[in-house]
Amino acid sequence: MPHSSGGGSHGGGSHGGSHGGSGGPRISTHYFAGARHYRKHHVSTGEDEYIYASSMPRRTGLSSISFIIVFAVFFLGFGFAGIISDRPNKLKIDYWDTAAIHDDLDFIKHKASLLATMEEFQEITGICPVIYTTFDEAWQDSYADLESYAYDVYVTNFKDESHFVIVYSIKEDDQVLLKNEKTGVPDYAWEAIQGNDTDNILTETTFKHFADKVQKELEDGENPGRAFDDAFQYLNNRFKNQLKPGSFTRIVSILMSCTPLFIVAGFFALFLILSIKNYKKDKDVVYEEVPLEIDPNDPALASGTSVTGNYHSKEFHYDASQGGPVSKAAKVITYAVTIPFIAVGFGMIAAGIGIMRSADAAGGGFVLIFGVIWTIISFFTLVKMTAAFMKAKKQTGDSAPLTAEYPDMNTVNNAKQSTATSAPDQAEFDPRFFNNPKSNIEDDDEDYKRMKRKGFE
């Protein structure tokens, strides 16, 4: 439905109208309460690092990268589509009317110049401007205000949404002032009504500039013909390059509108680069949980904190190519997010096909292609994450991780006293690390090196 653009009145000025924290495990090179011990093996170099972590360290997988890409496509794609759709474009002329001035009361001077400017406005924008003049007495008994009367003029005379109707009204007693511009300013009022299809061109900001220009000249005593002529000329100069496809002004306008998207794209690019970098780095890493050993140099021993632990003597290996075990909540959230994304993708594909069949082939093609890309990425993400869940479940089912339960302080103190009072037949090395009761350095050279590397003598 058409709606008010705004207008103005003598002494009242112009007025506007109506428009419509990290979730990963804690990792340290030093022991902390509740930590497990892991060997970080670098496949390419063969080097090992030993770390403490609250749980199996996770590696960056392809699913994480895909997730970032999906969100980037979502925000940037829809943001760009919204900017393009909001760009003003010349209306498709689907009406037979031309710019017109209905001034039976002969209020307007310079009609020829004004009509030529209005016709140029219609040629540039596709909006048909029409001006009416009337007396206040002609409508005041039937309408609450000039806006209501102007709206009725629009819907009575035009059935489309592509017109820009202006109604200028004065009191009958003030008509002499229009015929003699130098004697004073009549008690005037004017109102503009625009069709919905004109909103992308005649925005609130644009109309305010138009209305301010009209209002200033009317208050200065100019004839309404001159005031509206200059205001329409201002719009013509504004839209001449702005609505021309491929013009420098239009390109700059689009780029300026895309500035927030460029900033968001920069953040997405940063996250994506970091994820890819971590993915490449983690591809070379394999984690293995090892027994939690006592470090003699650990200050926690001196403070009485329990750092020794019970553990299984069996060897345990865990390849964290897709991270550690996944909780049920994580699975539910993943499926709750990705499945609707896929449904939205199919919806965009259907919408694109519908738009192409209706009228806008270019717009429908964009929506269709965007929907296909959206669906492929969402489906790929769902498949990758499902595979990761299944692999994690299989790995956790094959073998249980080493425990990290800790005894009370009495156990620690007894262990310390036992270490201090060594019997002659006591093993040279802690039996927790070697199966033999007596360890020979010559024979256990590799074990000795490993112990020495960790600080055990």
Mean pLDDT of the chain: 74
In a domain, 409, yes or no: no
Query: Do 195 and 265 share a domain, yes or no?
Result: no
DSSP 158: -
What is the bridge-based pairing of β-strands 48-53 and 36-42?
antiparallel
C-alpha atoms less than 13 angstroms from C-alpha of 45 in its C-beta half-sphere: 8
Which of 252, 269, 300 finishes a domain? 252
Rounded CA-CA distance 114/120 in Å is: 10
Structure token pair of residue 148: 């209501």
pLDDT reading at 342 higher than 90: no
Query: Do 13 and 156 share a domain, yes or no?
Result: yes
Query: Do 438 and 388 share a domain, yes or no?
Result: no
Query: Is the Cβ–Cβ distance between 178 and 139 less than 8 Å?
Result: no
In a domain, 239, yes or no: yes
List the helix and strand counts (H, then E) for the chain. Answer: 13, 10
| Per-residue pLDDT at 296 | 37
pLDDT reading at 209 higher than 90: yes
Query: Edge-to-edge, what's the strand order for the sheet holding 100-102?
Result: 13-16, 3-9, 188-194, 163-170, 128-135, 100-102
Which of 252, 268, 300 finishes a domain? 252
Q: Which helix (H) or strand (E) holds 7?
A: strand 3-9
pLDDT reading at 325 higher than 50: yes
| Per-residue pLDDT at 42 | 77
| Per-residue pLDDT at 3 | 74
Residue labelled with tokens 């002499």: 176
Query: Do 139 and 264 share a domain, yes or no?
Result: no
Query: Do 173 and 312 share a domain, yes or no?
Result: no
3-state SS, one letter per residue, for 219-234: HCCCCHHHHHHHHHHH
3-state SS, one letter per residue, for 159-214: CCCCEEEEEEEECHHHHHHHHCHHHCCCCEEEEEEECHHHCCCCCHHHHHHHHHHH
Query: Do 308 and 288 share a domain, yes or no?
Result: yes
Q: What is the largest CA-CA distance in the chain?
A: 129
Query: Is the Cβ–Cβ distance between 234 and 209 less than 8 Å?
Result: yes
pLDDT tens digits, one per residue of 302-323: 343 433 333 333 333 444 344 4
| Per-residue pLDDT at 86 | 61
Q: How much of the chain, in percent, has pLDDT values that exceed 70?
A: 67
pLDDT reading at 339 higher than 50: yes
In a domain, 43, yes or no: no
Query: Do 205 and 285 share a domain, yes or no?
Result: no
DSSP 403: P
- Phi first, then psi, for residue 286 (nearest 5°) are -130, 130
Query: Do 390 and 423 share a domain, yes or no?
Result: no
Query: Do 138 and 272 share a domain, yes or no?
Result: no
| Per-residue pLDDT at 100 | 95
pLDDT tens digits, one per residue of 85-129: 666 778 877 778 899 999 988 889 889 999 999 999 999 999 999
Q: Report the domain count for the chain.
A: 3
pLDDT tens digits, one per residue of 251-301: 776 677 777 778 878 888 888 888 888 887 777 778 778 876 645 344 543
In a domain, 455, yes or no: no
Query: Do 149 and 269 share a domain, yes or no?
Result: no
Structure token pair of residue 445: 């050279």
Q: What is the CATH number of the domain that holds 117?
A: 3.10.310.50
DSSP 405: B
Nearest Cα to 58, choosing from 323, 375, 354, 436? 323
Which range of residues forms the domain containing residue 348?
62-86+258-398
pLDDT tens digits, one per residue of 72-81: 877 777 777 6
Query: Do 155 and 10 share a domain, yes or no?
Result: yes
Query: Is the Cβ–Cβ distance between 56 and 287 less than 8 Å?
Result: yes
In a domain, 205, yes or no: yes
In a domain, 44, yes or no: no
| Per-residue pLDDT at 141 | 92
Query: Do 248 and 265 share a domain, yes or no?
Result: no
In a domain, 41, yes or no: no
Rounded CA-CA distance 279/384 in Å is: 15
In a domain, 361, yes or no: yes
pLDDT tens digits, one per residue of 360-379: 566 667 777 877 887 887 78
pLDDT reading at 233 higher than 90: yes
Highest mean pLDDT among 40-54, 70-84, 127-141, 244-258: 127-141
**Through-space distance between the first and last CA atoms of the chain, rounded to whole angstroms:** 89
| Per-residue pLDDT at 16 | 63
Residues 6+ apart with CB under 8 A from 394: none
